[in-house]
Structure 1
Amino acid sequence: MTFKKFLRDHLFHIAFFFGGMIVLDIVLWLDPSMRFAKATLLYLDLLLALFFCAFLVGLYVYHLKWYRTIQTRLDAKEDSLNWPLTGATSAEKQFIQHYVNQLLAYHQQSIDRLISAQQDQKNFIDGWVHESKVPLAATQLLIESIEDQIPEDKFNQLTDELIQIEHYVEQVLYYSRLDSFSKDYLVQEYDLKPLVNQIIRQNRNYFIQKHIQFKLLGADQTVLTDAKWLAFILNQIISNALKYTPDGAQITVQIERDEQGVWLNVIDTGIGIPAEDLPRIFDKGFTGQNGRYSNQRSTGLGLYLARALSEKLGHELTVSSQQGSGSTFKLLFPFLSYYNTDDDDGLFGKNHPADK
C-alpha cells in the first residue's frame, strides 16, 4: 500500500483532527478570559499539525511490514495458498490473520477431499479398463473360433465393432492417466517407421475393407519420445483419418527433417475439416460438423488426447485442412535448438543417429 492510499483511508481521521483544531481555535479566540494573539494560535496550530503528521508517518511505517506481507502474497498468486499468514502485531491484524488462516485451512481440506475423490475415480477407471480387457480378449478369441462358420462380411463387422470398443476403452484409460502422466512415461530413442507400421497393422482391417492405399514416405528418423504414448497419439490420428476418408482413397505418412526437428505428417484425401471448425478441432468434446452430420461416431476425445499428450511429451501437433480436399496432421519432434538458439547441437547432439 502506498502512502497516498494510506492517507486516503485515514481521510476521516484527518478531517476530524483539523475540524477539532478549528473548533479549539474558535473557542480560545472567543473566550474573554483568554487573550491569544493570532500569531500564537497559528503557531499552536502548526505545532499540532506537525505532531499529527509525524503520528501519521509513524503509523504508516508501523503498518508497512504488514502491507508488504500482503503484497508478497498477492504477487505469489496461487502459491500463497500454501503459506499461513503471519506478522500480525495488533488485535485487529490478529483477527484478520486468524480469519485468513482459517480460510486457507478450509481450502486445503477441500483440495485434499477433491484429490482423494479424483484418485478414487482414477483407481476405479483403471480397474474397470483392465477388467474390461479380459472379456474383450475372450470375445476376440471366440470370434476367431467361429470365423469359418459365419459369412466373411459378418466376421469383419464383428471384428471392427470389437476393435472400436477396445479403442474407446483405451481412450478412457489414457484420459484418466492424463493428470498423472509424469508417473508413467519413459523417454528413449525410437525409430519412427517401426512405430508407424505397428499402428498400420492394428488398423489393417479398416484399410482392407475400405480399399484405402497407404504410403510411408521419407527416410526413417530417430526421435526422443515414449513409445507407448506416441503409439496412442498416432493411433488417434490415423483412426481419425480412416474414419473420414472415403473408400478407395489414400492415406500417406511422410517423415521429414529440418532445422526445427523431425516432422511426421499424416496426409489423407478425405472430406476435410470446415474452416470454422479448425480452431476448435483439439478442444475436449468437440465433434464439429463432420461428427454431427456424418455417419461416423465421434466422442470428441481422440484429438483432444492426442494434442494434450503431445504437449506433455514436448511434441507439437498441428493440423491444416481444406474442406473436400483432405487434412494434414503434423507432429513435430523439436530439437532443443528450436527452443534455445544458443544450443547448436540440438536435442540429440551432433552424433545422434538421425544425423548420420
Structure 2
Amino acid sequence: MKPSTYIKDRKYLIIFYFILMAFISSVMYLDGTVNISADNIIYINAVSVVFFCLYLTWDFLYQRNFYTIIHEIITSRQEDFISALPEANTNEQQVFILLLKQVYEQQNARIEALHERKREDRDFFITWIHEIKTPIAASRLIIDNSIGKPMDEVLDKLEDELDKIDGFVEQVLYYSRTDSFMKDYVISECNLEKVVKESVKKQAKMFIGKRIKCEMADLDMEILSDKKWLGFIIDQILSNSLKYTDQGGAITITGYENEKEKMLVIEDNGVGIKAEDIARVFEKGFTGYSGRVYAKSTGFGLYLARTLAIKLGHTISVESEEGQYTKLMIHFPKPLSYFDVT
C-alpha cells in the first residue's frame, strides 16, 4: 500500500478532523467566557495536527503489511491463495478474509461440479460408443452372412439392428439436451393413452420377438406434460422392462387417479430388482445385479427418465421383488386450485 493510497482511503476522516478542529477553535475564540489567546489556539491546533499525523503514520504502518501481502497474492496469481492470506489486524479485515474464503470455497465447489459433470459425460459417451458398436458389428455380420438367405429375413434383421442404433442415438441426443431443457419443452394437456400407445408401437417388434404380452387399462386421461419428452421417458421405462422380461412374459400399463395425482404404472413380471439395488436404480451409470447378469446395460435409461421427469414436474418411483416383478410409477401431481389453497 502506498502512502498516497492510504491518504485517499482516509480522506473523509481527515476532512472530518479539520472540520472538528475548526469548530472547536471557533467556539474557544468567540466565546467571551473563555480567556484564551489566538496564539494558544494555534498552538493547540498545531500539537493536535502533529498527534493526528503520528496516528495516521502508525495506522499506515500497521495496515501496510496486510495489504502488501494481499497485493502480492493478486499480482502473483497464486492458485491456492487462501493459505497465503495474512492474519487480520481488524474486524474489517477479518470480514474481508472470511468473504474471500467463502468465495474461494464456492468457486472450488463449482469447479468440482464441472469436473464431475465432465467425468460423467466421458463415462457416458465411452459406454455409449461401446454399446452402439454392437448393433453396427451385428449389421455387418448379417450382411456378410446374407448370401443365399431370403432378402426379407436379412432386411428384417437389419431393421432390428437399425432400431437399436436409433434408440442409442435418441438417448444420447436427449442426454446432451438435459442442460438446455428449459428452452425445449412446452407444458400442455396431452392424452396419456395416445402417448403410451406411441411408445408401445415403437417397441412392437421387441414385444413380438420375445412374445411378451402387453395389457393396457384406464389410460384415457388428460395430463399436463410435454408430449415429446414424456414419450421419451416412457420409452426408456418400457425398454428397460422389455430387456429384463423373459420370453412369454407380460407387461401391464395402467392409469390411476386420486384426489392429489394421476399416475402411470408400468409393471412387468421379469427378473425384478435385488432389494439392495432398488434405492440406486436411478443413479447415473448404475446397472445393478440384473444389468450385469441378465443383459448389457448402460445404466443411463432410468437416470434420464427420472431427470427429465423431475424437470417436467413429475416424479418416478419404483417397487420390485427379485424374481417376481418390477413396477415403475410416473406420478403427475394435480395443480392446486384456489379452493385447495384456501
* Aligned residue in 2 for 1:275: 275
Does the 8 A contact of 2:285 with 2:300 survive in 1? yes
Instruction: State the SS of the aligned residue for 1:165.
Output: helix
Distance 1:213 1:151, change over 3 A: farther
The alignment status of 1:285 with 2:285, answered yes or no, reads yes
CA distance in 2, matches of 1:109, 1:215: 51
Offset, 1:161: 2.1
Counterparts in 2 of 1:274 and 1:104: CA distance versus 1, 3 Å: closer
Superposed counterparts of 1:173-188, under 5 Å: 173-188=173-188
- Give the secondary-structure state (helix, strand or coil) at the position aligned to 1:342: helix
State the 1:214 CA deviation.
1.1
- TM-aligned CA distance change 1:94 to 1:187, over 3 Å: same
Rounded Cα–Cα distance in structure 2 between residues aligned with 1:101 and 1:198: 55
Shift of 1:109: 11
| Shift in Å, 1:297 | 1.6
Query: Structure 2 unaligned runs (5+)?
Result: 1-87
Q: Give the aligned partner of residue 51 of structure 1.
A: none
CA deviation after TM superposition for structure 1 residue 155, in Å: 3.4
Instruction: Specify the alignment match of 2:28 in structure 1.
Output: none
Question: Partners in 2 of 1:329 and 1:341 — Cα distance?
Answer: 32
> By how many angstroms is 1:158 displaced?
2.4
**Cα separation, 1, equivalents of 2:89 and 2:208:** 79
Give the conservation status (yes or no) of the 8 Å contact 2:195–2:227.
yes
- Aligned AA (1:242): L
Q: Aligned equivalents of 2:113 and 2:271: distance in 1? A: 43
Shift in Å, 1:100: 4.8
Distance across 1 between alignment mates of 2:266 and 2:260: 18
Describe the shift of the 1:254–1:172 C-alpha distance in structure 2 as closer, same or farther (beyond 3 A): same
- Corresponding residue for 1:305? 304
TM alignment of 1:178-327, pairs within 5 A: 178-294=178-294, 296-327=295-326
CA distance in 2, matches of 1:193, 1:215: 12
**Against the structure 1 CA distance between its residues 98 and 183, is the aligned structure 2 distance closer, same or farther, given a 3 Å change threshold?**
same
Structure-2 residue corresponding to 1:55: none
The alpha carbon displacement at 1:166 in A equals 1.8
Helix, strand or coil at the partner of 1:270: coil
Checking the alignment, whether the CA contact within 8 Å between 2:192 and 2:219 is kept in structure 1 is no
Aligned-pair distance for 1:235? Answer: 0.2
Q: Distance in 1 between matches of 2:168 and 2:304?
A: 12
SS at match of 2:267: strand
- Whichever residue aligns with residue 292 of structure 2, its letter is R
When the two chains are superposed, the root-mean-square deviation of aligned CA atoms in Å is 3.9
Q: Conserved in 1, the CA contact under 8 Å of 2:191 and 2:222?
A: yes
Structure 2 counterpart of 1:239, one-letter code: S
CA offset digits 1:57-81 (Å, max 9, x no partner): xxxxxxxxxxxxxxxxxxxxxxxxx
Superposed, 1:1-356 pairs within 5 Å as 93-94=92-93, 97=96, 100=99, 104=103, 150=150, 152-294=152-294, 296-337=295-336, 342-343=340-341
Contact 1:185 1:226 in 2 (8 A): yes
CA distance in 2, matches of 1:325, 1:105: 51
Counterpart residue identity of residue 217, structure 1: A
CA contact (8 A) 1:336 1:343 kept: no
Paired with 1:238 and 1:263, the residues of 2 have a C-alpha distance of 16
* TM-superposition CA deviations, 1:144-187 (whole Å, max 9, x none): xx9x9745554333222222222222222222222222121110
**More deviation, 251-260/98-107:** 98-107
Deviation at 1:96? 6.7
Q: Please report the TM-score for the alignment, with normalisation by the length of structure 1.
A: 0.56
Secondary structure of 2:175's counterpart equals helix
What secondary structure sits across from 2:341 in the alignment? coil
- Number of aligned residues: 238
Check whether the contact 2:245–2:270 (CA below 8 A) recurs between aligned residues.
yes
Given the two structures, how large is their TM-score scaled by the length of structure 2? 0.59
1:188, 1:224 within 8 Å by CA — same for their partners in 2? Answer: yes
Relative to structure 1, the CA distance from residue 207 to residue 236 in structure 2 (aligned partners, 3 Å threshold; closer, same or farther) is same
Asked whether the 8 Å contact 2:226–2:312 carries over to 1, the reply is: yes
